[in-house]
Amino acid sequence: MAGLAESSGSNPDVELLYDINGLAKDAPHWFDRLMEFIGEYGLLFAMMLLVLWCWWGVRRRGGEGAAPSVAALVWAPLAAGVAVLVNVPIRGFVERPRPFVDHDGLEVLVDGKDDFSFVSDHATLTMAIAVGLFVANRRFGLIGIGLALLEGFCRVYMGVHYPTDVVGGFALGTAVALLLSPVAMALLTPVVRAVEKSPRLGWLVRDRRRADMASGTSADVPGERDLAA
């Protein structure tokens, strides 16, 4: 599989790499530094904030669907972790060098990337979180998918991944989040329901003060209708 790294100038993967990375050469220095931060740390942080934002809305509205919705939100980062672990043997099997190893003239914005390239961990992480979030709430999930797509663009822009590395990461993250979701929900939902009944930890699932003021309905719970669909 090492031959995956051998590419000619006529390879669409390489051509797209140069087209996207070429934007970094023409951009101001401050913009490249901004893209480096966004692509390396910023979007991952934004994804976690998105999960927390969705969780906050779920617990405030409460209702019977709070527990499965929170369980789906717990699964989102867990799915990302599982997907990255699955990527470890994939990288070792494919052994694709970073694009700047085999191709000259790339504008590499991040130093120290000496591991293998396929598939992209960042693309895998963000898409797994986004798809896991989509299971809980479609509106937040679509925002997450948009952020994941931006992450993939950033990785190619930074010169550290081929476009196919990113596509592979998207596929891996999606597969893990969706295929393991039924098992994860079956395991996590009872745990979350138990936490919901706890006098000390119940606030993690439902805002009891709001529940006392007004009883919630299934239509008021973000993601409950999506989970039932």
Q: DSSP for 174-202? A: HHHHHHTHHHHHHHHHHHHHHHHH-TTTG
**Domains, the chain, ranges and CATH?**
29-108+116-228 (1.20.144)
Neighbours of 19 (CB within 10 A): 11
Indicate the helix (H) or strand (E) that contains 129.
helix 121-136
Alpha carbons 103 and 192: distance in angstroms, whole number: 50
Residues 6+ apart with CB under 8 A from 39: 109, 110, 122, 151, 154, 155, 157, 158
Quick check: 186 and 68 in contact, CB under 8 A?
A: no
Q: What pTM value is reported for the model?
A: 0.83
CA dist list (Å): 83 to 12, 120, 130, 206: 27, 11, 13, 29
Residue 22: is it exposed, middle or buried by C-beta count within 10 angstroms (0-12/13-18/19+)?
A: middle
Quote the CA–CA distance of 73 and 136 in Å, as a whole number.
6
Q: Tokens 């098992």 label which residue?
A: 183
The type of residue at 156 is V
| C-beta of residue 16 within 8 angstroms of C-beta of residue 155 | no
Residues in the chain, total: 229
Q: Residue 199: pLDDT band by 50, 70, 90 thresholds?
A: confident
Look at residue 111 and tell me whether its pLDDT is greater than 80: yes
**From the CA atom positions of the chain, what is the Rg in Å?**
20
Angle at 86 between CA 80 and CA 87, to 5 degrees: 90
The single residue listed with the structure tokens 């669409």 is 12
Q: Residue 149: its pLDDT value, please?
A: 97
- Each residue's pLDDT tens digit, 57-110: 887 776 777 888 899 999 999 999 999 999 999 999 988 999 988 888 888 888
Confidence band of 183 (pLDDT split at 50, 70, 90): very high
* 118 within 8 A of 45, measured Cβ to Cβ: no
Position 208 scores a pLDDT of 63
Separation between Cα atoms, residue 224 and residue 137, nearest integer Å: 8
pLDDT of 229 above 80 = no
